[in-house]
Amino acid sequence: MKIKPIHTGVFMLAAFTAGWAFPTVGVTADKPAIEVITHAGAGGGTDVNSRMMMLRGRRVLKQDMVVVNKRGGGGAAAMNYFMSRPADGNTIMTFTVGHAITMGKGKTRLKVEDMAPLARGTNDPQILMVNCKTSPYKTPEEFVAGMKKGDKLKFGGAQIGTIDHITVFLWAKRLGQPMPTYIPFKGGGELATQLVAGSVDVATLNLSEAAAPVEAGDICPLVILANAGMAPIPKAKTAKSMGIDLVLSTTRGFVTHAGVDAARRAELEKGMMKAMQHSMYQAYLQNSGLDDTSPLASGDWGKQIKSMVSEFGPALKEMGLVK
């Protein structure tokens, strides 16, 4: 199956949505606007994801929605602002894997129990990939066996203290190995290029970041850190299918305050899930290299949030990144 690359339309979309004024069709004027808090600047990935949900969300909920950008502290500024808002059901925060890491570092007073999960918006599983032409590992099983044997490998990821860095630590730990050599890069595009160039042995990437070299046969995905496999890369296996309990993703979703009335939480969840089933949001997912499994209802989204925060805190301490 051909892998869907990220189209230039995504970047055009980021530019457009940064200044969009949404039409008021179907919106009831006597309701207050829902604040959607993001930690990203206008046009950033989290900002765009929020605005894409809002396109139909405001119509379904018949209530205006406005983005409030609160940058700084790896999401800490956004979380602290969220905590200052009343639990009246008119505040939503876009919660990401970065927020979970910041919580794990103790950089915010926000706790998991302060939030009520509403719906997940995007989910991009972490995947361990190798150079197809030079790697000695041709199958997921060979890679796992090499790791367990203690092969000395250089792993690449995006910067220190990120989901990629934590992924490499937890992957090695699950296999009874110490933290491998970790080489940080500025982003997934540079990392994919350096994997092809031979600068690292293994790269922690999302499929959307490596679509072109995977399609060209230069990079081979081996292990998917997800609950299920991925149709575009049928030869890759999930860690869980090989008896390794590790599920990690680059993810974004939405939460409100835990104190919000249950009926209002249900109304928000239903409206947002319906909005993300619309063809416009689905096209956004496809153009981002994702699929319709990204949107997820509150129950499983809440479990994912708890899993991330509980996993990241101890890992960051063991890695020496938190005192």
Q: What is the pLDDT of residue 28?
A: 60
Q: Is residue 323 part of a domain?
A: no
Q: How many residues does the chain have?
A: 323
Residue ending a domain, choose from 242, 269, 297? 242
pLDDT tens per residue across span 231-273: 899 999 999 999 999 999 999 999 999 999 999 999 999 999 9
Nearest CA to 108 out of 184, 34, 39 is that of 39
Whether residue 220 sits in one domain with residue 143 = yes
Whether residue 231 sits in one domain with residue 132 = yes
Whether residue 281 sits in one domain with residue 237 = no
Q: What is the pLDDT of residue 43?
A: 86
Whether residue 229 sits in one domain with residue 258 = no
Q: Is residue 1 part of a domain?
A: no
pLDDT tens per residue across span 68-77: 999 999 999 9
Q: What is the pLDDT of residue 203?
A: 98
- DSSP per-residue codes, 65-88: EEEEE---GGGHHHHHHHHHS-SS
Distance (Å, whole) CA 143 – CA 220: 12
Whether residue 178 sits in one domain with residue 92 = no
Q: What is the pLDDT of residue 30?
A: 75
Q: Is residue 3 part of a domain?
A: no
Whether residue 255 sits in one domain with residue 119 = yes
Whether residue 209 sits in one domain with residue 166 = yes
Give the ranges where the chain is alpha helix by DSSP (H).
8-17, 45-61, 76-84, 97-104, 140-149, 163-174, 188-197, 211-216, 262-276, 279-287, 298-318
CB 201 within 8 A of CB 153: yes
Average pLDDT, the chain: 91
pLDDT tens per residue across span 10-34: 443 544 444 444 444 456 667 899 9
pLDDT tens per residue across span 186-225: 999 999 999 999 999 999 999 989 999 999 999 999 999 9
Which domain covers residue 156, as residue numbers?
A: 125-242
Whether residue 25 sits in one domain with residue 107 = yes
Residue ending a domain, choose from 203, 225, 242? 242
* Count of domains forming the chain: 2
pLDDT above 60 (res 83)? yes
CB 301 within 8 A of CB 253: yes
Residue ending a domain, choose from 225, 242, 259? 242
Q: Is residue 166 part of a domain?
A: yes
pLDDT tens per residue across span 155-178: 999 999 999 999 999 999 999 999
Query: Could you tell me the CATH number of the domain that includes residue 274?
Result: 3.40.190.150
Instruction: Kindly report the backbone phi and psi dihedral angles of residue 128, in degrees, each rounded to the nearest multiple of 5, phi listed first.
Output: -95, 120
Distance (Å, whole) CA 204 – CA 188: 8
